[in-house]
Amino acid sequence: MAALPDAPLFSPLYRQIASLLTRSLQASEWKPGEAIPSELDLAARYKVSQGTVRKAIDDLAASNLLVRRQGRGTFVATHAEEQTQFRFLRLSPDSAPGAPKAGEREPLSRRFLDCGRQRPPAEVGRAIGLHSGEAALRVRRLLYFRGQPVVLDDIWLPAALFKGLTSTRLSAYQGPMYGLFEAEFGVRMVRAEEQIRAVPADGEAAALLGLAPGAPLLSVERVAFTYDDRPVELRRGLYDTRHHHYRNELG
pTM recorded for the entire structure? 0.77
The reported pLDDT for the residue numbered 52 is 94
CATH of 13-76, one of 1.10.10.10, 1.10.3720.10, 1.20.1070.10, 3.40.50.620: 1.10.10.10
The reported pLDDT for the residue numbered 78 is 80
pLDDT digits (tens, 9 = 90+) for 139-174: 999 999 888 999 999 999 999 999 999 999 999 988
Cα 172–174–178 angle (5° rounding)? 100
- CATH 1.10.10.10 region(s) of the chain? 13-76
The reported pLDDT for the residue numbered 146 is 86
Sorting pLDDT into bands at 50, 70 and 90, what band is 105? low
pLDDT digits (tens, 9 = 90+) for 198-239: 999 999 999 999 999 999 999 999 999 998 889 999 999 999
Half-sphere exposure of 157 (CA within 13 A, CB side): 25
- CATH 3.40.1410.10 region(s) of the chain? 91-246
- Given a cut of 60, is residue 81 above it in pLDDT? no
The reported pLDDT for the residue numbered 216 is 96
Question: What percent of the chain has pLDDT above 90?
Answer: 57
One-letter amino acid identity for 227? Y
Q: Does domain 91-246 have CATH number 3.40.1410.10?
A: yes
Q: What is the mean pLDDT of residues 86-93?
A: 66
- Given a cut of 80, is residue 8 above it in pLDDT? no
Q: What is the mean pLDDT of residues 183-195?
A: 89
Residue 245 burial (C-beta neighbours within 10 Å; 0-12, 13-18, 19+): middle
Sorting pLDDT into bands at 50, 70 and 90, what band is 245? confident
Q: Where are the alpha helices (DSSP H) in 63-176?
A: 122-127, 167-172
- Given a cut of 50, is residue 1 above it in pLDDT? no
What 3-state DSSP class applies to 22?
helix
Sorting pLDDT into bands at 50, 70 and 90, what band is 10? low
Question: In terms of pLDDT, which residue wins out, 249 or 154?
Answer: 154
Of the listed ranges 60-64, 66-70, 167-171, the least confidently predicted one is 60-64
- Given a cut of 60, is residue 51 above it in pLDDT? yes
